[in-house]
Structure 1
């Protein structure tokens, strides 16, 4: 299994599943969520509306899967990260669940390649280095990882890219 860190636009990757750092509404927003909805088109929004109609909102740590619409990927896995505020162990556990629940869904849908953004490190203000450590620790210790051929951490900004590179070198 290949584990890579790249600095790029996650919406441009030809993988089985792109993970979206979504909000609880699943209806699009800013950052990576907005980019995925804009480039993926109305199909993603309609799929998210159907999910909302059956289960309601998506809570932090949970994940759901939809079509990728106009994206090159096959699926989008939407997961809701925690808002940092004052932090705490529960926020760290919730972020870890974002990664493990996303991997579980990917395996359930026979995905062999997956691309993750830096969940919760933008507007949700999760400390970037702590988030990188949680992400890498969670995926490398997840039993679902054995089903994957390639896992990408796609960093939009240079700071996250450097942090992920550093954390991966240590692990």
Structure 2
């Protein structure tokens, strides 16, 4: 399994089978990542998420991609930092459970945003470390996944991600 990172828009990853939505517990349109994904996917995405709501922190579910260039959306609810505990374990579960849903659905590629590091207040560097550690640890268990891509939106977050990623090699 190859791990890569790019700067860009999570809702515009046409060569990836599934994008991960940093969802809210009701799987509704919101701000940030969820807003971008829902706007591009269309109203069918919110409707498809209804049967899975409310999602608990660390859980992940799969729906169709609808208007996105991706076949699937994997929705996961990250922990609110300082509220949902143990936050590190719950954040790791978001990545792990998303990867499990990808494998269960025979996906070969998945793209992640940085989960919980925006409005949910998870410290950026700590969140990146949990993300990389969890995905790297999972890679030895993976039977189907060929590519995991991290899609980082802002210049600042991209530079922090790049620094941490390169220091791990």
Question: Which of 159, 162, 168 is the equivalent residue of 1:162?
Answer: 159
Match of residue 106 from structure 1:
102
Cα displacement string for residues 108-141 of structure 1 (whole angstroms, at most 9, x for unaligned residues)? 0011010000100111110000000000000000
**5+ residue gaps, structure 1:** none
2:37 aligned with 1:40, yes or no? Answer: no
2:87 aligned with 1:61, yes or no? Answer: no
Tell me, what secondary structure is at the counterpart of 1:141?
Answer: helix
Tell me, what secondary structure is at the counterpart of 2:114?
Answer: coil
For 1:32 and 1:65, the matched residues in 2 are separated by: 16
Deviation at 1:86, TM superposition (A): 6.7
Tell me if the contact between 1:107 and 1:144 (Cα under 8 Å) persists in the aligned partners.
Answer: no
**C-alpha distance 168-145 of structure 1, shift in aligned 2 (>3 A):** farther
Give TM-score scaled by structure 2 length: 0.93
2:132 aligned with 1:136, yes or no? Answer: yes
Structure 1 runs of 4+ off > 2 angstroms?
85-88, 143-147
Match of residue 76 from structure 1:
73
Tell me if the contact between 1:139 and 1:145 (Cα under 8 Å) persists in the aligned partners.
Answer: no
**C-alpha distance 46-8 of structure 1, shift in aligned 2 (>3 A):** same
Deviation at 1:145, TM superposition (A): 3.6
Match of residue 16 from structure 1:
17
Q: Give the structure with the higher percent helix.
A: 1
Report the RMSD for the aligned CA atoms in angstroms: 1.4
- Bigger drift between 145-154 and 111-120 goes to 145-154
For 2:80 and 2:33, the matched residues in 1 are separated by: 15
Tell me if the contact between 1:118 and 1:160 (Cα under 8 Å) persists in the aligned partners.
Answer: no
**5+ residue gaps, structure 2:** none
Tell me if the contact between 1:26 and 1:58 (Cα under 8 Å) persists in the aligned partners.
Answer: yes
Match of residue 6 from structure 2:
6
